[in-house]
Amino acid sequence: RQALQTVMVTGGAGFIGSAVCRHLIGTGNYRVVNLDKLTYAGNLASLRDIDGNSNYVFRQADICDTDCVRQILADEKVELIMHLAAESHVDRSIDGPMDFVTTNVVGTASLLSAALDHWRGLSEESRRGFRLHHVSTDEVFGDLPFDSGVFTEESPYKPSSPYSASKAASDHFVRAWHETYGLPVVLSNCSNNYGPYHFPEKLIPLVIANALDERPLPVYGKGANVRDWLFVEDHARALEAVLTKGKVGESYNIGGRAERTNLEVVETICSLLDACRPRAGGRSHLDLIAYVADRPGHDRRYAIDPTKSEVELGWAPRETFESGLEKTVDWYLANGWWWRPIRAQQFDGSRLGLVRSK
Ligand code: NAD
């Protein structure tokens, strides 16, 4: 039996990070150290399934605290890093961009500094096997026309929002630490994720929760903006593939080949709920749709070409958009214990005028 590899997952209490921790522990091949500051988006309840597992450790820390991160890397004898900790919500980045600069840009540079010191102190064999995997977004590439084009790994960076600009900057810093200091890094840029434990301010959980509570389903503009959607557990498997099979210094696009307009997403949720949770009086949930003023700088379309990940890493999504969305709706129906308390804290009604598209 092979020894377990120790992976530090930053942001492991968030939406994707918790799916990654659950996935890695589920494989039986890793010891997982979850490093998370526990901002409003971090929730240890999302790790209920693996809490208590002897191969899982939680360490509360801020990635901006270089000394603390360096100490944790040494104490936990970390061999691989998956970096997901970030401020992740586009609308929040429009309201308050500086938190995004601090965590996503400065925090990533701080983590890179700690990781470099740690890597330099490893044995030659461990240095060879070490990877820092930076988990990023397709939003760094800017937007595409409605009717043509896809993002490849060679697409130029053209971010539009403070969020995507901060992620673009962090991608550049990760590459710089590789080119300048030789730190072995891999990067991935993924499209919109959805699935269980998604914070209820984001589009899909917001629409499910509002529909269940008979509240308006707000849609930006005409709902014509297009996103590519990927089930979070498919992303978690892709990330393990990038970490273990990706070539050092390279980046991999990850996506579901599932482009949908925002309106199509909302309509699909309504028809799933109409089937399993009919409203009183036989009316459709579609009646709850309410169009609201568009988000400033709203990117028209993102579309990812995941061919490189499919061919080089042998990865493919298991869920279609429809099967993944059905699982997601079922999960929200069964797990009000997780999202209702968050929604009660975060939503006083005044924020409900907005649809969250990521
Ligand atoms: P999330 O907001 O749900 O989780 C972020 C986590 O990071 C939280 O647990 C939070 O507590 C933690 N965190 C924030 N600041 C921190 C700091 N300074 N130090 C330590 N921990 C900190 O985000 P998510 O949706 O799970 O996204 C995870 C990563 O994946 C992000 O880097 C994001 O840019 C990227 N990404 C997300 C999507 C998506 O659709 N959600 C798509 C592509 C890429």
What pLDDT, in 10s, does the model give residues 4-60? 999 999 999 999 999 999 999 999 999 999 999 999 999 999 999 999 999 999 999
In this prediction, residue 352 carries a pLDDT of 41
- Cα separation, 319 vs 325, in Å, equals 9
How confident is the model at residue 298, as a pLDDT?
Answer: 82
The ipTM estimated for the assembled molecules is: 0.99
**Three-state SS annotation for the chain:** CCCCEEEEEECCCCHHHHHHHHHHHHHCCEEEEEEECCCCCCCHHHHCCCCCCCCEEEEECCCCCHHHHHHHHHHCCCCEEEECCCCCCHHHHHHCCHHHHHHHHHHHHHHHHHHHHHHHCCCHHHHHHCEEEEEEEHHHHCCECCCCCCECCCCCCCCCCHHHHHHHHHHHHHHHHHHHHCCCEEEEEECEEECCCCCCCCHHHHHHHHHHCCCCEEEECCCCCEEEEEEHHHHHHHHHHHHHHCCCCCEEEECCCCEEEHHHHHHHHHHHHHHHCCCHHHCCHHHHEEEECCCCCCCCECCECCHHHHHHHCCCCCCCHHHHHHHHHHHHHHCHHHHHHHHHHHCCCHHHHCCCCC
Active-site position among 163, 194, 197, 302: 163
**Ligand 1 atom index nearest CA of 85:** 7
Q: Is the CB of 18 under 6 A from ligand 1?
A: no
Domain 5-198+231-258+302-319 has CATH 3.40.50.720: yes
pLDDT of residue 219: 92
Structure-token match 């053209």, residue found:
158
User: Which residues of the chain are modeled with pLDDT < 50?
Assistant: 348-358
Catalytic residue among 87, 91, 138, 267: 138
Six-digit token pair at 298?
A: 């709203």
Percent of the chain exceeding pLDDT 90 equals: 86
The answer, as to whether pTM is greater than 0.90, is yes
- Binding site membership of 329 for ligand 1 (Cβ less than 6 Å): no
Beta-sheet pairing, 226-231 with 259-261: antiparallel
Among this protein's residues, is 139 annotated catalytic? yes
Task: Specify the residue with its C-alpha closest to ligand 1, atom 37.
Answer: 137
What per-residue confidence (pLDDT) applies to 354?
A: 42
Q: Is the CB of 16 under 6 A from ligand 1?
A: yes
Q: Is 167 in the pocket of ligand 1 (CB under 6 A)?
A: yes
What does the pLDDT read at residue 157? 97
230 lines ligand 1 (CB under 6 A): no
Question: What torsion, rounded to 10 degrees, do the Cα atoms 162, 168, 171, 177 define?
Answer: -90
**Which residues, in sequence order, are CB contacts of 18 under 8 Å at separation 6+?**
12, 43, 46, 47, 197
Residue 91 annotated to the active site: no
Q: Of 36, 139, 201, 240, which is the active-site residue?
A: 139
Closest atom of ligand 1 to CA, residue 167: 34
